[in-house]
Amino acid sequence: MANALEYAQSLVAVPSVSRDSNGPVSDVVERHLRSLGFEVERQEFLDPQGVPKSNIIGRKGAGIGGLAYFSHTDVVPADTWSVAEHGAFVPTVRDGRLYGRGSCDMKGSIACMLAAVSRVSECTLTSPLYLVCTADEEVGFHGARRVAEASRYYREMVAGQTRAIIGEPTELDVVYAHKGIYGFRVTSHGKAAHSSTRDGINANVAMIPFLSEMKSLHDETVTDPVWSNAEFDPPGISWNIGINDHHCAVNITAPESVCTVYFRPMPGQDGDLLVQRAEAAAKRYGLEFKFECRGLPLYGDPDSEFVRDTLRLAKRPAAKTVSYGTDGVCFTELEQILVLGPGSIQQAHTDDEWISLQQLDAGTAIYEQMIRRWCM
């Protein structure tokens, strides 16, 4: 019977930065699942850059309903890793913590579920347990979308309205809702030339009227209560605007200017309305518009029996919301869904990422109780 630390070390030791293939770490997950008696569905696909990616969906137990656990195996880059004693993919235990890229977000969580399953491996599951590990959560939920669109096991979950846990780090608090995410890119094309001549066309100048409209739209979402929800902190949609012209010299007119916009709508808000207004503004000024992603907010009834049961298992007084997003944006067909995982979001993506051993132990214990509650 392996414990969560051992499972976590085996996962963290396999690099799986989103820009690269997650095939090797998916191989490790698949081996663990098969050794624990799971049947495995594996989805292979190419990401938008043509890089091979894998989703692993495991199923164990009979019947319908039960429990589904969702996770991702990709991690953010570790180019700025700051721990001199060891690399980002050398899992290292020190001072009651496991250090390594992905230890918190979210291989430690996967390890807790694997360890929980190993604790009940000799028992008969009378309802199914599903364990899902996706690719590319960190860069647009590409793997989760593939699961929702094409996994036969996911269709089983929807048909049986399986209870679902997203295992992202919440310090084992019970999270019933999180924000969605929308993104688009607007490009202004100019012509590079020496700025002292008439030959150039400055793409930044052409972008300015559009940016002015984005500022007005941003301000509207800050002041109009339609775009506010007091259940969240911050209560607004967290609109973020980025600008980049890759300008290499002050005396050359910018040949291209790119504006990226990402915002996080909350339940009951129509993010498509903001996208439509931005696209109309881009067209008015002759700019190129590209829609990049849409993820709906996650919302579960905080007064549901599922949430109340989970609060009792987790020994928490009340469920909460978070402002970050998860693969759950793709799994909104599941009516009983929440987020609960070990580790703190404050450690995710840091240049010395870690998870406490106490959280690994506590996460394993809670996940084991969930399996016993809903699958046995």
pLDDT tens profile 140-166: 899 999 999 999 999 999 999 999 999
Q: 53-94, pLDDT tens digit by residue?
A: 999 999 999 999 999 999 999 999 999 999 999 999 999 999
Where do you find CATH 3.30.70.360 in the chain? 181-295
Catalytic annotation present for 85: no
Q: 295-325, pLDDT tens digit by residue?
A: 899 999 999 999 999 999 999 999 999 999 9
Which CATH architecture best describes the domain 181-295?
Answer: 2-Layer Sandwich (3.30)
- In percent, the amount of the chain with pLDDT more than 70 equals 100
In this model, does residue 248 exceed pLDDT 80? Answer: no
Q: What one-character-per-residue DSSP string does 219-279 give?
A: HHHHH-GGG--TTSSS-S---EEEEE-----TTB--SEEEEEEEE---TT--HHHHHHHHH
| Owner of token pair 């990422």 | 353
112 Cβ contact list (under 8 Å, min separation 6): 4, 7, 167, 341, 342, 360, 363, 364, 367
Is residue 254 a contact partner of residue 192, using CB atoms and an 8 Å limit? yes
Catalytic annotation present for 95: no
Catalytic: which of 41, 47, 74, 368?
A: 74
pTM: 0.91
For residue 1, the model assigns a pLDDT of 67
- CATH H superfamily, domain 4-178+297-375: Zn peptidases (3.40.630.10)
Catalytic: which of 41, 105, 136, 137?
A: 137
For residue 262, the model assigns a pLDDT of 95
240-246: average pLDDT: 92
